[in-house]
Amino acid sequence: MLMSKGRPAKLHYLPGSFRVLSTGDHVVCAVTGQRIPIDELRYWSVERQEPYASVEAAMKAQGLE
């Protein structure tokens, strides 16, 4: 995957994967604001189209904390 260093990527989140809409090297967690390198992205919401830095952040976004 081509990555643009220092630029946030724009992704379309799918169940179990994502599609790159614009290249970048990270996304920003919707809950914590933390930068998440694309190759470390593990948690996101398909419904909300949001990335999360951790399972705890994902649960907080869903109101399950």
**Cα angle for residues 57, 26, 19 (degrees, 5° grid):** 90
Tens digit of pLDDT per residue, the chain (65 long)?
455 678 999 999 999 999 999 999 999 999 999 999 999 999 999 999 999 999 999 999 988 87
Query: How far apart are alpha carbons 61 and 50 in whole angstroms?
Result: 9
- pTM, to two decimals: 0.87
For the chain, the domains span: 10-61
